[in-house]
Amino acid sequence: MTPSQRVHAAYARLAQGERPEAWITLRPLPDVLADAIAVDPTLPLAGQLLAVKDNIDVAGLPTTAGCPAYAYQPSRNAPAVQRLVDAGAIVLGKTNMDQFATGLVGTRSPYGVVRAVADPARVAGGSSSGSAVVVALGIADLALGTDTAGSGRIPAAFQGIVGLKPTRGLVPVEGVVPACQSFDCVTVFARTLGAAAAAMSVMSDPLPADAPLAAPPSPVVAVPHRDELTGMSPEWLDAFEAATKTLSAAGVTLRPIRLSPFLAAARLLYGGGFVAERYAAVGAFIDEHPDEVDPTVRGIITAARDIPAHVLVADTARLSRLRAAAMAEWGDADALLLPTAPMHPAIADVAADPVGVNSALGTYTNFCNLFDLCAVAVPAGIGVQVIARGYADAVATGIAALLVQERPPAPVGGLRLAVFGAHLTGQPLNGQLTAPGGRLVGAIRTAPEYRLYALATRPALVRVEHGGAAIEGELWELPAAALGPFLDRLPAPLVLGKVRLDDGSAVTGFLCESVAVLDAPDISSHGGWRTYLESS
């Protein structure tokens, strides 16, 4: 389907009234079509339809943060939005949310209660409720949310999609109405892990030089005993245990962990001095417009007005102690696996106890930003989340890929490179990959569209229109900063270009100009360079 056809299909569904409560503002159809017609098809996100949570600025559309009286008109996109647009994404509009991003339920909005896709009697989850719903419905390919206490993960869990929360600071929060500014993150929703990671790689600043580019070959994942998972039904506990067994079957070592310091820190986000940041963000507006604000949101934020400074200082010190205890418990594990939420409440449950139910939903998510961790929520019977240390985003996504049985996505700030000859493991030029910190992802095969030729000291891979074969190689991950020096060493007639793999994906890899192989032996029948060398 072309981008224009995708746009028409999306607006046709919207015209039929499909989940209108998920949206706050839509762009006019002619404007969106113009973007679709003009999009460069070579861009990495070309034609992907994007929805944006309405506390993130989109030029020309009001930013309401879920409160009509608060609305303002931004003159430019937030950097996170602009980077996606520059990569070819097409903005559809702004999505509904818990007002001022204060909530995990999706019911605290004057624009309507956002209902779960699979069960409309249950909450969609918040505060990024609308963004998760429009992705789950297939109206948008990608959607931006924010995550302070779990808002980029809990709505994903309730819709059975992927929610990717990066390390704090990796994606700029400029142009985002703050909730607790010290702990806010811009997040992304998608229906697959690969799509979410591709969007995140476009939005993110470069990783630190020492950040891991992939999960280790045999990762260790910390997992709590089911007795520590409070508030969960036996069926949900069984589903979580099934997810742990999936990881174990994939070669992951599981290690028990005590959750008490994590859960104690989670309670600090709303139960102590840190909530004062919410008042600092929008408290003055609420004081001036009390009748324009959701009563529950107003109560939470205005209650923080009179928190003494010494409480915040004491809670900061307590958080430091809890973090030290939690990380000691974490030990040398590569990641932590937890449920995303302990339950999926009905809308009626939230109406009866709006604060209590909301607080319970944050049991396993609230501590994440307080501890400066990254996380990815994926569907696995129930929603589960893989949590990793700060800037170990590639570790989290790599382990999450084992749960959803996808190829591990390329790391944020990294480059995937397919090699077929002298750069293979054990071959003479492999050091050019390992020296700058490259990591082996695994063995690959091309689509049957290539021929392999033997040059003097290395092979040459050439794409052909007819008579192609599948060629074996390896997929590596390199720091993006290593690309420049690598290209400088690349001798003619070799070039870097897109190589199609047998799973339908395309990665950057070594190719050769066809004119250079006119007199070279065709070794395609061997299936790969190693096999050819062994037969020589």
Active-site residue set: 53, 127, 151
Residue with the two structure tokens 């703050």:
178
Please list the helix, strand and coil fractions of the chain in percent, rounded to the nearest 5, in that order.
Answer: 40, 20, 40
Phi, psi of 391 (to 5 degrees): 70, 5
SS3 state of residue 535: helix
- Confirm if 110 and 225 have CB atoms less than 8 A apart: no
At residue 8, what are phi and psi to the nearest 5 degrees? -60, -40
Beta bridge partners of 378: 384
- Of 100, 205, 186, which is closest to residue 144 (Cα–Cα)? 186
Question: Whole-angstrom Cα distance, residue 247 to residue 269?
Answer: 30
Asked if residue 427 lies in contact with residue 533, where contact means CB atoms within 8 angstroms, the answer is: no
Residue 417: strand pairing partners: 476, 508
Tell me the two tokens of residue 236.
Answer: 């949900």
> Encoding tokens for residue 187?
């997040």
Cβ of 209: how many Cβ atoms within 10 Å? 10
Task: Please give the structure tokens belonging to residue 293.
Answer: 């604000």
- Compute the distance between CA of residue 440 and CA of residue 217 in angstroms, rounded to an integer: 9
End-to-end CA distance of the chain: 47
Strand partners, 69: none
Please, are residues 479 and 436 in contact by the beta-carbon 8 Å criterion? yes
Q: How far is CA 309 from CA 175, 274, 319, 481, 515, in A?
A: 28, 10, 15, 43, 73
Q: Is 373 helix (H, G, I), strand (E, B) or coil?
A: coil
- Establish whether the linkage from the previous residue to 216 is cis, with ω within 30° of 0: no
Q: In whole angstroms, what is the distance from residue 239 CA to residue 236 CA?
A: 5
- Biggest CA-to-CA distance, the chain: 82
Taking the C-alpha atoms of residue 204 and residue 114, their distance in angstroms, rounded to an integer, is: 29
3-class DSSP string for 256-324: ECCCHHHHHHHHHHHHCHHHHHHHHHHHHHHHHCHHHCCHHHHHHHHHHHHCCHHHHHHHHHHHHHHHH
